[in-house]
């Protein structure tokens, strides 16, 4: 317990002072991307990992959050930072009818419905030019010239989402989420209203996805439907990030986000779009050899390292 506390404190301190040490705005940009992907992964993981309701369309929430912020600036000419409230709320509003309809059913309905919702959003936001400016996207003005404020806002969002998931998973709701994932019939027979608790998992998940989207808009200052509602680059990528880091683990999505972002930045210049291939291979290897993801197998990894250490030690003596 104490060890965990120290470990967490060290990570927090590093996260706070890291951008002060690293002055390069390119590296700071990478850190910010990690924070956005981390928050998105944590949001997906709450619903898909802990509650077992896999979504193939979280881009819908991300994009609605981003457009929630962008449209405020575009139509009403007010600061897109207000979108940090409007965006996530809009994402939640989108999520509620989907959940109410699909969560009564079992099987892959929710996953497929989300896939459809993500694509519908992309098409609507592309075609409805009078509202969204269509494929031309929305451009806003940069608020801060330095990356530093963005970094800390991103860090706050990620911390907020991780903390919320931590609190949820250590309460009755968390036990209920996992029960629903493990066996819905058993959960019902224990008095758990499963539809309701799936909603309790969906709503924060949509909220944090929307928040990440709204922040993305404010940070990038430019969004277009094909980017924020992308099926392969957002919806599917979140799932891979979480699988890589560890499904249903608190820190897995963050670890996955670090690996994904760093890797794609490293390989993008040399391999171009094929950098995704490398990432795909890594995900395959993780699924084959570490089915619970990196954070899910952390104990096993530790044990392996210790055994190796012990063997080396015995050879010396």
Partner 1 sequence: MSYFEVKNLVKRFGGLVAVNNISFSVEKGEIFGLIGPNGSGKTTIFNCINRYYSPTGGKIYFKGKRIDKLPTYEICRLGIGRTFQVVKPLRRMTALENVMSGAFLKTSDVAKARDRALEVLDFCGLFRYRHFPAKGLTIADKKRLEIARALATEPELLLLDEVAAGLNPRETEAAMEIIQKIRSSGVTILIVEHVMKVIMGISDRIMAINFGKEIARGTPQEIVNNEEVIKAYLGESYAQGK
Classify residue 23 by its DSSP letter.
-
Of 148 and 168, which CB lies nearer to partner 1 in the complex structure?
A: 168
Tell me how far apart the alpha carbons of residues 150 and 142 are, in angstroms, rounded to a whole number. 11
Of 133 and 201, which CB lies nearer to partner 1 in the complex structure?
A: 201
Of 72 and 192, which CB lies nearer to partner 1 in the complex structure?
A: 192
- Binding string, residues 138-177; x marks residues near partner 1 by CB under 8 A: --------------------------------xxx--xx-
Task: Number of residues interacting with partner 1: please give it, by CB under 8 A.
Answer: 19
> Is 187 a residue that touches partner 1 (CB under 8 A)?
yes
Binding part of the chain for partner 1, among 68-76, 110-118, 184-192, 280-288 by CB under 8 A, reads 184-192
Of 81 and 175, which CB lies nearer to partner 1 in the complex structure?
A: 175
Q: Cα dihedral sign for 10, 11, 12, 17?
A: positive
- Annotate 76-144 with three-state secondary structure: HCCCHHHHHHHHHHHHHHHHHHHHHHHCCCCCCHHHHHHHHHHHHHHHHHHHCHHHHCHHHCEECCCCC
Least gap, CB of 171 to partner 1 (angstroms): 6
Q: How far apart are the first and last CA of the chain?
A: 33
Beta-carbon contacts of residue 208 (< 8 Å; ≥ 6 apart): 39, 40, 42, 43, 46, 88, 157, 160, 161, 164
Of 148 and 169, which CB lies nearer to partner 1 in the complex structure?
A: 169
On whether the CB atoms of residues 72 and 78 are closer than 8 A, the answer is yes
What are the two backbone dihedrals, phi and then psi, of residue 139, each rounded to the nearest 5 degrees?
A: -115, 130
> Is 105 a residue that touches partner 1 (CB under 8 A)?
no
Strand, helix or coil at 222? strand
Binding part of the chain for partner 1, among 153-161, 189-197, 229-237, 301-309 by CB under 8 A, reads 189-197
Least gap, CB of 294 to partner 1 (angstroms): 18
Least gap, CB of 9 to partner 1 (angstroms): 24
> Is 51 a residue that touches partner 1 (CB under 8 A)?
no
> Is 194 a residue that touches partner 1 (CB under 8 A)?
yes
Binding part of the chain for partner 1, among 59-67, 190-198, 210-218, 298-306 by CB under 8 A, reads 190-198
Residue that has been written with the tokens 């395959």 in this structure? 284
> Is 107 a residue that touches partner 1 (CB under 8 A)?
no
> Is 191 a residue that touches partner 1 (CB under 8 A)?
yes
Tell me how far apart the alpha carbons of residues 286 and 293 are, in angstroms, rounded to a whole number. 6
On whether the CB atoms of residues 283 and 244 are closer than 8 A, the answer is yes
Q: Among 16, 186, 271, 301, which residue sits at the site for partner 1 (rule: CB under 8 A)?
A: 186
Of 182 and 299, which CB lies nearer to partner 1 in the complex structure?
A: 182
The alpha carbon torsion through 284, 285, 287, 291 (nearest 10 deg) reads 180
Q: Among 130, 185, 288, 315, which residue sits at the site for partner 1 (rule: CB under 8 A)?
A: 185
Binding part of the chain for partner 1, among 24-32, 183-191, 230-238, 249-257 by CB under 8 A, reads 183-191
CB atoms < 10 A from the CB of 122, how many? 23
Contacting positions for partner 1 (CB under 8 A): 170-172, 175-176, 178-179, 182-183, 185-194
């Amino acid at each position: 317990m104490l060890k965990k506390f120290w470990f967490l404190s060290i990570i927090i301190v590093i996260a706070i002072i890291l951008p002060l040490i690293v002055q390069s705005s390119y590296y700071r940009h990478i850190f910010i991307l990690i924070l956005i992907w981390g928050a998105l992964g944590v949001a997906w993981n709450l619903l898909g990992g802990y509650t077992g309701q896999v979504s193939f369309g979280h881009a819908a929430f991300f994009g609605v959050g981003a457009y929630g912020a962008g449209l405020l600036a575009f139509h009403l000419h007010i600061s897109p930072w207000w979108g940090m409230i409007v965006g996530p709320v809009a994402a939640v509003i989108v999520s509620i009818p989907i959940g109410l309809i699909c969560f009564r059913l079992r099987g892959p309905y929710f996953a497929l419905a989300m896939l459809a919702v993500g694509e519908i959003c992309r098409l609507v936001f592309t075609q409805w030019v009078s509202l969204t400016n269509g494929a031309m996207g929305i451009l806003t003005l940069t608020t801060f010239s330095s990356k530093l404020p963005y970094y800390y806002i991103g860090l706050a969002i990620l911390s907020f989402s991780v903390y919320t998931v931590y609190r949820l998973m250590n309460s009755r709701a968390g036990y209920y989420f996992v029960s629903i994932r493990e066996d819905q019939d058993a959960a019902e027979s224990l008095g758990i209203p499963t539809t309701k608790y799936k909603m309790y998992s969906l709503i924060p998940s949509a909220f944090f996805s929307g928040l990440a989207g709204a922040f993305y808009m404010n940070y990038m200052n430019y969004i277009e439907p094909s980017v924020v509602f992308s099926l392969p680059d957002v919806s599917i990528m979140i799932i891979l990030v979480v699988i890589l880091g560890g499904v249903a683990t608190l820190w897995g999505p963050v670890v996955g986000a670090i690996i994904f972002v760093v890797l794609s930045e490293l390989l993008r210049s040399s391999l171009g779009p094929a950098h995704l291939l490398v990432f795909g291979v890594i995900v395959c290897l993780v699924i084959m050899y570490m089915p619970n993801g990196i954070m899910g197998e952390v104990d096993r990894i530790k044990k392996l390292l210790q055994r190796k250490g012990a063997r080396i030690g015995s050879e010396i003596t």
